[in-house]
């Protein structure tokens, strides 16, 4: 393995899920739902599967899916031409990697917000670029963007900035003011923004998802990425997409076509159906997840953790120190065996483990009885 990929030999999700299976633990580590998506979407996949949609789809994605993505993006007032400005990918993961490979190279720096989804660091490394990490800061009861830190991280070598909102693992949803600060920085320094919006529909209370591309000056310089996995409970389908200017989409496509070429033939028309017809289902998912957030947060607080607020995604972070632990990572490794629950330590998503070592992430995209069982088991930690 080449040195630049040596830090990336395994993922925390694979490791924790394996540990959960070994100890028959309730798995609140890896974030994936334990119920299926809308029946209409599943039917559409079945019909496509038996209707002959089993060969290579077109390179940019099936036209009806690109058209549905364009219609969906209109909800934010953002217009994209399905023929030149939309590319279907193998999940958001491929979209992120292909964007970085296509747009950055050795000598370039990519600004990444910490904690960051694990694939970002690996994808920046695969591109041969370097990451410059800026941490979120706890302020006013939430994890906020460190605008000054962000400004300081941008140099003459900075080519792109990667923004994830709603944010995994903290559950932060960036405010308009925070996004405006990012936009100002991008415009002043002529940076490309790559946005990971996979949790765009999973926002709670009065939080609002605002695509960075909709801010003044950002449409032409933003690669907006999302996927169907979280919105429609189909994380295994790996249908993602890129919306950007024709030039940026053409660049990402140049990389994408030699990574997977295409993928997910029969799932593409099913996701097109879902985007056009199943958003009411997704709205129900959102409200049910908000209840699950409250249910798990209350249980974790009862178990003795200090619970951090979550405005979006399906994750909640807790501080383990009130229970007498210093390092959430040590706790995460012994938790499946000790009480039969799996969670993920936040420090593995950072370059500064000391600063983040007290936080543990739990996923609440699970049936209520599963959440309750996890809480019952976690109460034994006291
Ligand atoms: N980005 C974030 C922030 C995620 O949490 C995930 C999770 N699964 C992904 C990207 C990957 O999305 P996909 O499954 O569509 O590749
Ligand atoms: N996105 C999911 C999470 O953060 C897991 C994805 C994966 O296993 N790579 O839990």
Q: Which atom of ligand 1 is nearest to the CA of 167?
A: 3
What pLDDT was estimated at residue 276?
98
What is the ipTM metric for this complex? 0.97
What pLDDT was estimated at residue 341?
98
What pLDDT was estimated at residue 198?
98
Cα of 92 from ligand 1 centre, angstroms: 6
Listed by start position, the domains of the chain span 3-37+280-381, 55-277
Distance CA 172, CA 327 (A): 22
- Torsion sign over Cα 65, 67, 68, 70: positive
Q: Where does 3-37+280-381 sit in CATH, by number?
A: 3.90.1150.10
- Residues 132-180: pLDDT tens digits? 999 999 999 999 999 999 999 999 999 999 999 999 999 999 999 999 9
What pLDDT was estimated at residue 348?
96
- Residues 254-265: pLDDT tens digits? 999 999 999 999
- Residues 109-137: pLDDT tens digits? 999 999 999 999 999 999 999 999 999 99
- Residues 44-56: pLDDT tens digits? 999 999 999 999 9
| DSSP line for 102-122 | HH--TT-EEEEEES--HHHHH
Q: Which ligand is nearest to the CA of 120?
A: 1
Count of CB atoms within 10 A of residue 311's CB? 24
Cα of 302 from ligand 1 centre, angstroms: 30
Cα of 381 from ligand 1 centre, angstroms: 31
Average pLDDT of the chain is: 98
C-beta of 170 in contact with ligand 2 (< 6 A): no
Task: Quickly name the fold that domain 55-277 has.
Answer: 3.40.640
Q: Note the Cα 249 to chain centre separation in Å.
A: 20
- Residues 286-310: pLDDT tens digits? 999 999 999 999 999 999 999 999 9
Residues 6+ apart with CB under 8 A from 168: 31, 117, 199, 313, 315
Residue nearest to atom 8 of ligand 2 (CA): 13
Q: Which ligand is nearest to the CA of 16?
A: 2
């Amino acid at each position: 393995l080449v040195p630049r990929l040596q830090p990336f030999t395994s993922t925390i999700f694979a490791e924790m899920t394996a540990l959960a299976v070994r100890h028959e633990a309730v798995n609140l580590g890896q974030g994936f739902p334990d119920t299926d998506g809308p029946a209409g979407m599943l039917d559409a996949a079945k019909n496509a599967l038996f209707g002959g949609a089993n060969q290579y789809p077109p390179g940019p994605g099936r036209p009806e899916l690109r058209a549905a993505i364009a219609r969906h993006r209109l909800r934010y007032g953002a217009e994209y031409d399905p023929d030149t400005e939309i590319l279907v990918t193998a999940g958001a993961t491929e979209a992120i990697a292909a964007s970085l490979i296509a747009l950055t190279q050795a000598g370039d720096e990519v600004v990444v917000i910490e904690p960051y989804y694990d694939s970002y660091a690996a994808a920046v490394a695969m591109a041969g670029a370097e990451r410059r990490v800026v941490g979120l800061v706890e302020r006013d009861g939430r994890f906020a963007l460190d605008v000054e830190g962000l400004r300081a991280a941008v140099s003459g070598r900075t080519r792109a900035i990667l923004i994830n909102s709603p944010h995994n693992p903290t559950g932060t949803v960036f405010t308009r003011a925070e996004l405006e600060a990012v936009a100002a920085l991008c415009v002043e320094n002529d940076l490309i923004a790559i946005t990971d919006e996979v949790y765009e529909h999973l926002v709670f209370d009065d939080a609002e998802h605002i695509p960075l591309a909709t801010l003044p000056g950002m449409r032409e310089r933003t690669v907006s990425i999302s996927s169907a996995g979280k919105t429609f409970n189909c994380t295994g389908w790996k249908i993602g997409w890129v919306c950007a200017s024709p030039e940026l989409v053409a660049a990402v496509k140049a990389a994408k076509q030699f990574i997977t070429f295409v993928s997910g033939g029969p799932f593409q028309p099913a996701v097109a159906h879902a985007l056009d017809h199943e958003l009411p289902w997704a709205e129900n998912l959102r409200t049910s997840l908000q209840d699950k957030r409250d249910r798990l947060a209350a249980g974790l607080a009862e178990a003795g953790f200090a619970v951090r607020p979550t405005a979006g995604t399906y994750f909640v972070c807790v501080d383990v120190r009130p229970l007498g632990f210093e390092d959430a990572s040590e706790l995460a490794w012994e938790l499946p065996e000790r009480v039969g629950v799996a969670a993920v330590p936040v420090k593995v998503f950072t370059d500064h483990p000391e600063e983040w070592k007290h936080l543990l992430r739990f996923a609440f995209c699970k049936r209520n009885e599963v959440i309750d069982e996890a809480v019952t088991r976690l109460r034994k930690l006291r």
